[in-house]
A and B are shown apart, each in its own frame.
Chain A
Amino acid sequence: MASVRPLAGLRVALGGRGHASDYARQLLASLGAECEAKGDGESDEHPALAWRRSGLMALTGRAGGAARMCPVPLTACADGALAALAALGGGLRVAPGSGAALMGVRAQFAGLARQGAVSPGGTCRLLACRDGHIAINLARPDDWAMVPAWLESDDVPNWVTVAARVSDQPAAQLLERARLLGLAAAVSAAPTPRSWLELNLLGAPKAPRPRCAGDDRPLVVDLSSLWAGPLCGQLLRELGAHVIKVESSARPDGARRGPAAFFDLLNAGKASVQLDLASPTGRDRLRQLIERADIVIEASRPRALRQMGVAAEDWLAARAGRSWLSITGHGRRGDAADWVAFGDDAGVGAGLSELMHRATGERLICGDAIGDPLTGLHAALAAWASWRAGGGHLLALSLDAVLRHCVSFGAPRSDDALHERHARWTRVARSRRNIARAPLCFAPQSHARPLGADTAAVLSVLGVRAA
C-alpha cells in the first residue's frame, strides 16, 4: 500500500465478528480509515458454510468426484470487501453472504459445473509441464491461432496436442513465450502476499464528499468488459453514480454473447455507447467522453489507451477531483503491464491450485474465474473511497495482486494447519443438508441496454461533437 491514505481522518463504525468483518476492517484501515470495531456485532457466517452457500464448493473438484473446500477464507474476502464498500456508500442491500454470492453467480446463470483441472467455463486448463504445472487460458477464439507459435509446433492445435507438447517443456519457457504472444498463462506455485491496491495521487483532490451521493452523483465512463470491471461499474451505479458503458463497435463486450441474465446483472441501468475506435472520429469522441467523466473504469493493458492518445496520468493532472481506475492482469509497471490474465489463470498464479493440491492431492482449478468477482468488489471499494476523498487518484488493481492479497488473508501457517483446517472445514460444510444461496446485493429491474442504444443521446447530452 502506498503512503497515500485517502480516508485518513474518516471514522467508520463496522461491527461484526469473524473473517469477513476482520477483512473489511483491514481494507478500510489500508485506505486510512479508523474503524471502530464494536464488540457486540453479529458473527459472520463460517467460511466453510459460505464457500458451500456461494456455489463455489460445487464448482471446485473433479467432475464426478467430491466437491472441494478451499482452505483459505476467500468468500470472507468478498463479503468483507462488500461490507467495507457499504460502510463508505449508501444504497447497497448487504446481507450475510451477498459478496460471496457474486462469486458463484456466473456459473449459476450459465449452468457450469466443476471439471477438475479444467475451469468450469472450459477455456482454462492446468497442465503438467516438465518441471511443474502451468495454467493456460485460451479464452478468445483467436487464441488458438497463436498456439503453434507458442509451442513451436505444426501439430493441429487441440487440447490433446497442447498437453503433449507442454509436458516436455519447462514452465519458465512456456510462460515467457505465452506472455510474449499475449496469451493468459500462469505457473502454479505457492502463494506469496501482495497489497491489493496501488494508489497514487496524481491530480488535485476536491473537498471530501459525503457518504450518500445525493445530487452530487459522479459520472462514470466504464470502458471495461467481461466481469471484474462491469461489476465494479454496477456497484458504483448502485451507490448513486451515472454509468456510461462504452464499447468498441468492432470489439463489443464478449459477455453480450454469454448468458443474458448474467450480462443484465452486471450492466442493466448503464447507458450503452458504441464507438468505432478504428476511426479518428470514434477516437475523438472517446477522448471527449473521457474528458467529461469523474471516474474512468478501464480493464485494458496501459499501452492500448496510450496508443489511442489517452494517458491516465495527464487526465488526472488536467482537472481536480477525478479518479482513474485501472484493472490489469499483473499491474501497470514494466514488462508485467503487457501480460494478459483472466480470472481462472490468475487464481492459479496466485497460489490457489497449489493450496488445493496440498490440501486434497488433486490438481484443480479453484472456483469460476475467481479473480474477476474479487477484483470487481475491491475495485469498487477503491473507486468509491477515492470519490469520497475528493479524487485525484490513479487506482491500480490487478487480478494477480487482489488474489494474492485474498489468498494470504487468514492463510494457515503450516502444512499441518492447512490439512487440519481443510478436514475441519469440509466437515462443517457437509454438516448441513441444504443451504440456500444468499441474496445478491443488487438485482436488476430491467435488461441491459442493447449495444449502442444510447450513443446519440449520450453524445448529445454531454455535448460530444464530431471533430
Chain B
Amino acid sequence: MKTLKAGTRLKSAACDTEVMVIRTRPEPVLLCCGGMEMIAMDGQKAAAEPDAAFAQGTLVGKRYVDEQDTTELLCTKGGKGGLSLEGAILVVKQAKALPSSD
C-alpha cells in the first residue's frame, strides 16, 4: 500500500509500464501492474512476468481510470501488464476533446 500524489511517477515491477498519477484518493492504495505492486522509478524490478489475469497491456499516452473514477493514471511508457487498483482492473479513458481554438 502506498499514499499516492498527483505527479507521482511509478513503474511496473513486472513489465516496461511506467505511469504518472494524475489524481487519486487521499488514503493509501494498492496500485498494481501485471498483478504486482508498482514501485518507485529507481526501484528494483522483479524477475517475473505479468500475472496472466493482469496482462491486458498498457499503451503509452492513454489515461486509465478506476470504476469509481477516484484515480486517474497516465501511461508514460507501455508494457505487457494490466493496471489494477485494489485488485480491480483500470480501464482506458476517452482521449481529450480537442480545443475550440489554440
A423 at the interface (CB under 8 A from B): no
| B100 pairs with A258, CB closer than 8 A | yes
Chain A residues with CB below 8 A from B60, complex form: 303, 338
Q: Report the separation of the CA atoms of residues A119 and B101 in the bound assembly, to the nearest whole angstrom.
A: 11
Q: Mark A96-132, 1 if CB is under 8 A from B, else 0.
A: 0000000000100010000000000101100000000
Cross-interface CB contact of A227 among B5, B8, B72, B102, cutoff 8 Å: B102
Known: A145-B23, A338-B60. A150 touches B7 (CB 8 A): yes
Q: Report the separation of the CA atoms of residues A184 and B60 in the bound assembly, to the nearest whole angstrom.
A: 17
Q: Report the separation of the CA atoms of residues A177 and B21 in the bound assembly, to the nearest whole angstrom.
A: 12
Known: A123-B101, A145-B22. A182 touches B61 (CB 8 A): yes
**Whole-angstrom distance from the CB of A256 to the nearest CB of chain B?**
8
Known: A123-B102, A139-B102. A181 touches B6 (CB 8 A): no
Q: Report the separation of the CA atoms of residues A137 and B60 in the bound assembly, to the nearest whole angstrom.
A: 21
| A369 pairs with B61, CB closer than 8 A | no
**Which has the most chain B C-beta neighbours within 10 Å: A142, A151, A153?**
A142
Residue of B nearest to A138 (CB): B99
| B101 pairs with A226, CB closer than 8 A | yes
**Whole-angstrom distance from the CB of B93 to the nearest CB of chain A?**
9
| B23 pairs with A181, CB closer than 8 A | no
Q: Report the separation of the CA atoms of residues A140 and B96 in the bound assembly, to the nearest whole angstrom.
A: 7
B20 at the interface (CB under 8 A from A): yes
Q: Report the separation of the CA atoms of residues A180 and B63 in the bound assembly, to the nearest whole angstrom.
A: 12
Known: A181-B74, A301-B61. A342 touches B7 (CB 8 A): no
Q: Report the separation of the CA atoms of residues A326 and B52 in the bound assembly, to the nearest whole angstrom.
A: 38
Cross-interface CB contact of A148 among B23, B61, B96, cutoff 8 Å: B23
| A141 pairs with B97, CB closer than 8 A | yes
Chain A residues with CB below 8 A from B20, complex form: 149, 180-181
Cross-interface CB contact of B100 among A124, A177, A257, cutoff 8 Å: A257
| B95 pairs with A121, CB closer than 8 A | no
Which A residues, 239 to 281, have Cβ-Cβ distances below 8 Å to chain B? 250-258, 278
| A307 pairs with B97, CB closer than 8 A | no
Cross-interface CB contact of B76 among A145, A180, A258, cutoff 8 Å: A180
| B102 pairs with A342, CB closer than 8 A | yes
Chain A residues with CB below 8 A from B99, complex form: 123, 139-141, 226, 254, 342
Task: Tell me how many residues of A have a C-beta within 8 Å of chain B.
Answer: 48
Residue of A nearest to B98 (CB): A254
| A344 pairs with B102, CB closer than 8 A | yes
Residue of A nearest to B77 (CB): A180
Chain A residues with CB below 8 A from B98, complex form: 140, 225-226, 251-254
**Whole-angstrom distance from the CB of B62 to the nearest CB of chain A?**
9
| B100 pairs with A251, CB closer than 8 A | no
Q: Report the separation of the CA atoms of residues A146 and B22 in the bound assembly, to the nearest whole angstrom.
A: 6
List the interface of chain A (C-beta within 8 A of B): 106, 110, 121, 123-124, 137, 139-143, 145-146, 148-154, 177, 180-182, 184, 225-227, 250-258, 278, 301, 303-304, 307, 338, 342-344, 369, 372
The list of the 3 closest CB pairs from A to B, nearest first, reads A254-B98, A152-B7, A342-B102
Give 22 A-B contacts (CB < 8 Å), ordered by A residue: A106-B101, A123-B99, A123-B102, A140-B96, A140-B99, A143-B96, A146-B22, A148-B22, A149-B21, A153-B6, A181-B22, A182-B61, A226-B101, A227-B102, A251-B98, A254-B100, A255-B100, A256-B100, A303-B60, A303-B61, A338-B60, A344-B102
15 further contact pairs, Cβ within 8 A, besides A180-B74, A303-B60: A106-B101, A110-B101, A146-B74, A149-B7, A152-B7, A181-B22, A226-B98, A227-B102, A250-B94, A251-B96, A251-B98, A252-B98, A256-B100, A258-B100, A369-B102
